[in-house]
Chains A and B, each alone.
Chain A
Amino acid sequence: MRIAIVDYGMGNLHSVTKALEHVAGDADIVLTDDPLVVEAADKVVFPGQGAMPDCMRYLQNSGLEDAVRDAASHKPFLGICVGAQLLFDHSEEGDTNGMGIFAGDVVRFPKAAMVDEHGQKLKVPHMGWNQMMIKRDHPLWAGIPDLDRFYFVHSYHFRPSDDITVIESAYPYRFAAAVARDNIFAIQCHPEKSHHAGLQLLKNFVHWDGRP
C-alpha cells in the first residue's frame, strides 16, 4: 500500500513525512511532486503551509490540481492545515478561490472577537495546544479521547456550510477543527506535531478504508 504526500512547493513537509513513516508499518510513504505518482497512490495526504493564495497558485502551476481532485473524489484523503482550507470554496486571505470540494469559506479570526473571559487580548496566530471536542464519531478519531489536545498554528479557519464537522475547538468561539465527508478527512491543526494523539490519527489514516 502506498501513501502519497503531495508536494506542490509550499512549505516544509519533512514533519508530515517523518510522522507518517513513524506509524506506517508496511505502508510505503512517498513525498512527491509528480501527478502520476499521486494518481497511482492508494491514499493521499494533502498538506500546506503559509498563505492560501500562494498555495493555490503553486498547486495550479505544479500541474497537481487535477491529481489532487481525482484523489479527493474516491481515495482515502487527508487534508492538513492550508491543505484542508484549500478544499473549500473561498478564503478571505487574499480573496482566493479554493477548490470548492466542500461548500463554505475560510475566514480570519476577527480582531474584535479576540478577547478571553478575563478581557485579556488573544493572540493571532492561534498557536499552541488546544482541545478537540468530538461532534461526531469518525474512524480516524478511534482511540483519541474527547478533549485531547492537538497543536495548532493558523490565523484563518474554515467555516463549512454543510453539516460535515467532526471535531470542534474554541478560540474563543467554537470553530470547526476537522471536517469529513465520505473518503475525505480534513483537519486544521497539525497531527504530525501533536504527540501521541496526532500519531494515533495518522496511524488510523494508514489503516482507513475510506468509509466514514
Chain B
Amino acid sequence: MPLAKRIIPCLDVTAGRVVKGVNFTELRDAGDPVEIAKRYDDQGADELTFLDITASSDDRDLILHVIEAVASQVFIPLTVGGGVRKVDDVRRLLNAGADKISINTTAVLNPQVVKEAADKFGSQAIVVAIDAKSVTPDNSRWEIFTHGGRQATGLDAVEWAIKMQALGAGEILLTSMDRDGTRIGFNLPLTRAISDAVDIPVIASGGVGNLQHLVEGVSEGHADAVLAASIFHFGEYTVRQAKEAMRDAGIEVRL
C-alpha cells in the first residue's frame, strides 16, 4: 500500500520558545521553534504538531507568531493544539498558518465546538485529541480524562472517538495517559480498539521510548501515524532513523 504511515514530532511551546520536560516537572528551554521545526523538516518529518502549554493568558497570542514564522518556512502540514476553546480560536490559528487544529478539553466540555469548527473550516482541519486511561486491571476498557489526566469524565474512550467522528473530526490524536512519559511504549490494545472502531485516521501518542515502539504502534496498534516528542528532542534518534526502522519492519514510509 503506497500511502505512507506518518511520523510526527511534537513540540511543546510556551512564551514563544520550545521547551522540553525533564522528570515531568522541570521545563528546559530547547530553542527557537523555527530552527527546530526546520531541523525536523530536513530529517523528513511528515507533519509537525505544536502544543501550546502557555499557562498565562497574557502570553496566549505568542503561539500565533510562532506558527506564522514556521509556516512561512516549513511546507509540510502543521497542527496546533493546547488551549483551543472557541471556534474563533480555531480561525485565528488557521489564519496564522496552521493546517489542522487539535481540540482537547473543549471537546469534552462543549462538543458542539467540534461540530461548528468542522462545519466552518472542514473536517480536514479538525483533530480531536483524546486523553484516555485504562479503568480495568486487564487494560480492556478506557475512559476519557481531562486536566492532564487528573480528572475523570466517565466517558468511554471508544464510544467517545466514534462520537467525535460523527461530529466532524477529521482525525484523532490518541494519548494514553497510562503511558505518557513512561517510555515503555504505546498502550497498544487502546490504540487498536480506537483505530479499528473509527473510519478516520488515528495518531498514536504517549509512551514512546525507542524506535520499536513506533513500529508496534502501526503494526499492532493499527495507528495511521505516530507522534513522539522526547526521543527526537534529546537527540537520541533522528526522524530519519525512525523511518528507516519502520521501513525495515515492512511499513510504508516516506523516505
Contact = CB atoms under 8 A, between A and B. Distances in A.
A and B part of one assembly: yes
Interface of A: 11-12, 14-15, 18-19, 21-22, 49-51, 111, 116-117, 120-131, 149, 151-154, 169-172, 192-195, 198-199
Given A22-B73, A129-B4, 14 more contacts: A11-B121, A11-B122, A15-B97, A18-B97, A111-B199, A116-B1, A125-B201, A128-B6, A129-B3, A129-B254, A152-B3, A153-B170, A170-B2, A193-B75
Contacts, number: 104
A15 B71 contact: yes
B124 A125 contact: yes
B200 interface: yes
A129 B97 contact: no
B171 A14 contact: no
Given A15-B71, A127-B224, A121 B1 contact: no
A49 B71 contact: no
The main secondary structure of chain B at its interface with chain A is loop
A85 B97 CA distance: 24
B222 to A, nearest CB: 7
A199 B75 contact: yes
Contacts of B222: 120
B225 A14 contact: no
Interface residues of B, number: 36
B8 to A, nearest CB: 10
19 contacts: A12-B121, A14-B94, A14-B97, A15-B75, A15-B99, A18-B71, A19-B75, A22-B75, A49-B124, A50-B122, A111-B199, A123-B202, A125-B170, A125-B200, A127-B201, A129-B4, A170-B2, A172-B1, A193-B75
Contacts of B3: 122, 126, 128-130, 152, 171
A14 B222 CA distance: 33
